Amino acid sequence: MISRPFEYFTPKTLGEALAIMKRFGDEAKLLAGGQSLVPMMNLGLVAPRYIIDINKVRGLSGIRETSRALIIGAIVRHHEIASSETVRRIIPMLSEAASHIGDMHVRHRGTIGGSVCHADPAADYLPVLQVADAVFEVRDTRRKRLVKAREFFKDAFTTALKDGEVLTTVQIPKRNGWSSAYEKLEFVAGGFAVASAAVMVKLNERSEIENLMVGIGGVERRPVFLDLTPGFAGRSVGRDVAEEVEASVTSRVRDPISDIQADGEYRKAMAGVLARRAFQRCLG
Ligand code: FAD
CATH of the domain at 74: 3.30.465.10
277 Cα: distance to centroid of ligand 1 (angstroms): 27
Quick check: 3 pLDDT over 80? no
Kindly state whether residues 232 and 142 are assigned to the same domain: no
Among 37, 43, 60, which is best to mutate for testing ligand 1, by the most ligand atoms less than 8 A from CB?
37
Query: The domain containing residue 260 runs over which residues?
Result: 178-283
Kindly state whether residues 70 and 160 are assigned to the same domain: yes
Nearest CA to ligand 1 atom 30: 102
Nearest CA to ligand 1 atom 37: 35
Q: Does any domain span residue 58?
A: no
Kindly state whether residues 155 and 193 are assigned to the same domain: no
Q: Report, as an integer, the average pLDDT of 235-263.
A: 93
Q: Does any domain span residue 233?
A: yes
DSSP secondary structure of 61-126: --EEE-SSEEEEETT-BHHHHHH-HHHHHH-HHHHHHHHTSS-HHHHHH-BHHHHHHHT-TT-SHH
pLDDT digits (tens, 9 = 90+) for 216-229: 999 999 999 999 99
231 Cα: distance to centroid of ligand 1 (angstroms): 36
Kindly state whether residues 206 and 275 are assigned to the same domain: yes
Residues 6 or more apart whose CB falls under 8 angstroms from that of 89 comprise none
Phi, psi of 222 (to 5 degrees): -140, 160
Domain count, the chain: 3
Kindly state whether residues 83 and 160 are assigned to the same domain: yes
Quick check: 190 pLDDT over 90? no
Q: Assess whether the C-beta atom of 97 lies below 6 angstroms from ligand 1.
A: no
Kindly state whether residues 184 and 267 are assigned to the same domain: yes
Kindly state whether residues 224 and 273 are assigned to the same domain: yes
Q: Does any domain span residue 229?
A: yes
pLDDT given at position 163:
93
pLDDT digits (tens, 9 = 90+) for 118-135: 999 999 999 999 999 999
Q: Does any domain span residue 2?
A: no
Phi, psi of 241 (to 5 degrees): -65, -40
Report the CATH number that the domain containing residue 196 is assigned in CATH: 3.30.390.50
Q: Assess whether the C-beta atom of 184 lies below 6 angstroms from ligand 1.
A: no
Give the pLDDT band of residue 195 (cuts 50, 70, 90): very high
Q: Report, as an integer, the average pLDDT of 93-102.
A: 97
Kindly state whether residues 233 and 271 are assigned to the same domain: yes
Nearest CA to ligand 1 atom 14: 114
Kindly state whether residues 69 and 112 are assigned to the same domain: yes
120 Cα: distance to centroid of ligand 1 (angstroms): 8
Q: Assess whether the C-beta atom of 223 lies below 6 angstroms from ligand 1.
A: no
Q: Report, as an integer, the average pLDDT of 7-25.
A: 97
Q: Assess whether the C-beta atom of 59 lies below 6 angstroms from ligand 1.
A: no
User: How much is the pTM?
Assistant: 0.96
Quick check: 4 pLDDT over 90? no
